[in-house]
Chain A
């Protein structure tokens, strides 16, 4: 069965296509890395797949359910965990409250949600900050808390938008291992966007590359990468080069901005 399937998925903003005619195929049990330069449409695609945005046209199905059917969309939400761009945290709750209430909103009983919240806080090394308001967490702590929230109800499919952005190397390593275990154990499918290509390369089994709203490459990591690295494939596929530019007031020794 396919975890995600889209046909001609399109979304316009003010007449401009952010995602155009997108046809994604993500197999169940895959660790799918969705890559693209800034503004390519990665986050928009993820928002379309999680119901935060409505498509202008096209069709998408998640875990076998057509998202255009409201009842099916509600059923999908129960089986999906999301760490969206910008996270989904209430700043005036403590970390522990956030996780417990998050679990309850996904249908867990209060006691079970509290138990899982405690366990997740330990796993994310946030136990010492469990009583602090989320608004006072650092960016990295918020990322870890959001990931914990996405896992608390045991989803079959996990959407992660830039999960490693702003997190230190040790935490990245810990989260990477946890995600790998989840996929390898056959417990879930993960759909991930990230700019950190080295990390993605070590994690994913499948890759899709989007540019200017259109899917320009898709396949298994091995088939796309061949003998090179993911970064080489990415730059070759995107086909953009950075020109060297100098700033007039900083190019000569001794010059200032006056």
Chain B
């Protein structure tokens, strides 16, 4: 026992625990600690409720699908798809302060692989949402057990475990590879364009082979074939469907492929992390040319344009906007293609339009780190706002406008893909998704500015290691998002009752105008708060905590 306690790994574990403990009990850590406890307390019951829903789906799938059943297949696929995409999006946007920066510890005589694994496990244990996702998977297992008890539950439990590990490994790979590749501005732009153009071209060529006019559904069928390459959840879903059908032998190849891809993703992300750490974390970064930021800076002369140019340039160089620009529209398209057709035709036009309307708010949720922690990436640059003769209102306006432009861009691409995959929605739904998106934005920004000023925290300039939102801000974001969503849901209740979708665009426009007024009126208050809180803000983003 003493020998174990004296190992360098034990000392390393103690060091990390002490650092975490001190951080949580420090001047700024108490809020985070409280937020974390609240997050656990909130997420556990919500997770249990959601687990009951997932369990019910698994129960029906287990009882009804032996020998086949489309409905059961959809439930199994939706379970894996839903958990995977929500887990991935939340982990990319939220904070994992317990995760580890390999660079700081390479100096010690410890095996880097062990350090990396340590970081992954600590990141998982310190993330309340990880517990949430595991509770959901537990619900699926219990539901399946109640539906059809038997030995098939053992491979199913193993599949859930593999799925969780695969999601974590895949996330690590996205973060490491994304950060590495996306550091080069031109390569980033090329990749971004290639993703959509090449996907569309391959689909057109393959699906259109032998046909004169391939339909959109034909094109999407191609994606179904290649989706296994794209996300590990598809392999889990493939294995899951077969297990629920009672066909263990058919599920085994999928489970083996899932395990192999998990190991490969884990190994690759570790090698990338190690290589990144040994490079010093940023060697060779270069950027050429002037992007959208410079164009905007020319349109709006003076300090205001300079501030806007800086914000847009920053967003265009941060990897998260690019990842979100790829993942969110892709998931939206997937939903329009896979799930929307199963909404019953007699459920009313408002219910059928909910996916395209939901995307309008979801984009704001995914980009929340930029409006809830707007100063988190400034480092020393934040001092300039207080040293240069600029109005602090202009600083906030530039930050909000740039994030609004990013969110609107993602929303437009997502809606376009949803139309492509699911067909044209009613005109009011298109107007509605835009009205909802634009109308909700000022509400989020007005409230988000206060959070960004009151609880700033230094955030990484890359995707990998540690996230972007402090726990307290994430909690505040949850409350703000719920409140604004509830406000904008009020007209939906009326529209549902009357089954009159046309009510929504004007109602949301009115609410948006109210939000715009609130945002505009809040700017002087926010700027005074920013001036008063400058010491705390600078200490958080430029001081020791940075």
Interface of A toward B, CB cutoff 8 Å: 50-54, 74-75, 77-78, 80, 82, 84, 86-94, 97, 101-102, 104-107, 109-110, 131-133, 135-136
Residue in contact with B381 in the complex, picked from A80, A82, A90, A133, CB distance below 8 Å: A90
CB <8 Å contact, B381 and A106: no
Query: Is B310 located at the chain interface by the 8 A CB criterion?
Result: yes
> Are A104 and B379 in touch, CB under 8 angstroms?
no
Q: Are B534 and A101 neighbours in the complex by a CB distance under 8 Å?
A: no
Contact B287 A133 (CB under 8 A): yes
Selected from B288, B379, B387, the residue in CB contact (under 8 A) with A77 is: B387
Residue of A nearest to B538 (CB): A52
> Across the interface, which residues of B come within 8 angstroms of A105, CB to CB?
303, 306-307, 384, 388-390
Q: Are B389 and A106 in contact (CB under 8 A)?
A: yes
Q: Are B388 and A77 in contact (CB under 8 A)?
A: yes
- Docked CA distance A132–B183 (Å): 12
Q: Are A94 and B287 in contact (CB under 8 A)?
A: yes
B196-204, B312-320, B328-336: which one contacts chain A?
B312-320
A87 surroundings in chain B (CB, below 8 A): 380, 383
Q: List CB contacts (< 8 Å) of B292-326 with chain A.
A: 297-298, 301-303, 305-307, 309-310, 313-314, 317-318
Q: What's the minimum C-beta distance from A221 to chain B, rounded to whole angstroms? A: 28
Given contacts A87-B380, A89-B381, contact A136 B282 (CB under 8 A): yes
B387–A135 touching, CB < 8 Å: no
B545 near A: Cβ within 8 Å? no
Known: A101-B306, A132-B286. A92 touches B384 (CB 8 A): no
Q: Mark B17-34, 1 if CB is under 8 A from A, else 0.
A: 000000000000000000
27 A–B contacts, CB within 8 A, in A order? A50-B387, A52-B386, A52-B535, A77-B388, A80-B387, A84-B387, A86-B543, A87-B380, A88-B387, A90-B380, A92-B318, A92-B377, A93-B310, A97-B313, A101-B309, A102-B388, A104-B302, A104-B305, A105-B388, A105-B389, A106-B388, A109-B301, A110-B305, A135-B282, A136-B282, A136-B283, A136-B285
Contacts of B535 in A (CB 8 A): 52-54
Which one of B283, B314, B386, B538 has the highest number of Cβ atoms from chain A below 10 Å of its Cβ?
B386
Using Cβ atoms and an 8 Å threshold, which residues of chain A touch B542?
86
What is the size, in residues, of chain B's interface with A at 8 Å between Cβ atoms? 40
Contact across chains for A107 and B387 when beta carbons are under 8 A apart: no
Check if B387 sits within 8 Å of A90, measured CB to CB: no
4 smallest CB-CB distances across A and B, nearest first, come from: A90-B381, A104-B306, A88-B383, A105-B388
When chains A and B are docked, how far (Å) is the Cα of A21 from the Cα of B283? 46
Residue of B nearest to A106 (CB): B388
For B309, the closest partner residue in chain A by CB is A101
Q: How far is the CA of A80 from the CA of B384 in the complex (A)?
A: 12
A143 smallest CB distance to B (angstroms): 12
> Within the assembled complex, what's the spacing in Å between the Cα atoms of A89 and B102?
25
CA distance A91 to B282 in the complex (A): 11
Chain A residues within 8 Å of B388, by CB = 77, 102, 105-106
Asked if A89 contacts B314 (CB within 8 A), the reply is no
A92–B380 CB distance below 8 A: no
A150–B152 Cα distance when bound, in Å, is: 70
- Provide the main secondary structure of the chain B interface: helix
Beyond A105-B303, A136-B284, 10 extra complex contacts between A and B, CB < 8 Å = A52-B387, A52-B534, A53-B535, A84-B387, A90-B310, A105-B384, A106-B389, A107-B389, A131-B286, A135-B282
Residue of A nearest to B534 (CB): A52
Contacts of A101 in B (CB 8 A): 297, 306, 309-310
| B461 proximal to A (CB < 8 A) | yes
**CB-contact partner of A90 in B301, B305, B379, B389, under 8 A:** B379
In the assembly, what is the distance between CA of A90 and CA of B461, in Å? Answer: 11
Which residues in window 456-477 of B have CB below 8 A to A? 461
Which residues 359-392 of B have a CB within 8 angstroms of A? 377-384, 386-390
In the bound assembly, the distance between CA atoms of A50 and B286 in angstroms comes to 33
- Whether A91 contacts B384 by the Cβ 8 Å rule is no
Chain B residues with CB below 8 A from A102, complex form: 384, 388
Write the chain A residue with the least CB distance to B546. A86
Taking CB atoms and an 8 Å cut-off, the chain B residues in 380-422 that contact chain A are: 380-384, 386-390
User: In the complex, A92→B314 CA distance in Å?
Assistant: 6
Closest to A142 in B: B380
Chain B contacts of A107 at CB under 8 A?
302-303, 389
CA distance A193 to B110 in the complex (A): 41
Question: Nearest-CB distance from B460 to chain A (Å)?
Answer: 11
Contacts of B318 in A (CB 8 A): 92
Which chain B positions have C-beta within 8 A of A109? 301
Residues B282 and A51 in contact, CB atoms below 8 Å apart: no
Give Cα A53–Cα B52 distance, bound, in whole angstroms: 53
Interface residues of B in 489-546 (CB under 8 A from A): 534-535, 538, 542-543
A135 touches B538 (CB 8 A): no
In the bound assembly, the distance between CA atoms of A51 and B390 in angstroms comes to 13
Min C-beta distance of A103 to chain B, whole Å: 8
Given contacts A90-B314, A133-B286, A136-B282, contact A77 B380 (CB under 8 A): no
A81 smallest CB distance to B (angstroms): 9
Q: How far is the CB of A160 from chain B (nearest CB, A)?
A: 13
In the bound complex, CA of A88 to CA of B538 (Å): 11
Nearest-neighbour CB distance to chain A for B251, whole angstroms, equals 46
What's the least CB distance linking B64 to chain A, in Å? 54
* Most interface-central of A84, A91, A135 (chain B CB within 10 A): A91
Q: Please name the residue on chain B nearest to A132 by beta carbon.
A: B286
With A and B bound together, what is the CA distance between A136 and B309 in angstroms? 21
Q: How far is the CB of B488 from chain A (nearest CB, A)?
A: 33
Alpha-carbon distance A110/B310, docked complex (angstroms): 13
User: Which one of B306, B309, B313 has the highest number of Cβ atoms from chain A below 10 Å of its Cβ?
Assistant: B306
Min CB gap A10→B, angstroms: 15
Cβ–Cβ contact A110 & B301, under 8 A: yes
B384 touches A88 (CB 8 A): yes
Q: Which of B302, B386, B461 contacts A135 (CB 8 A)?
A: B461
Contacts of B285 in A (CB 8 A): 132-133, 135-136
Nearest to B316 among chain A residues (CB) is A92
Cβ 8 A contact of B317, one of A53, A84, A92: A92
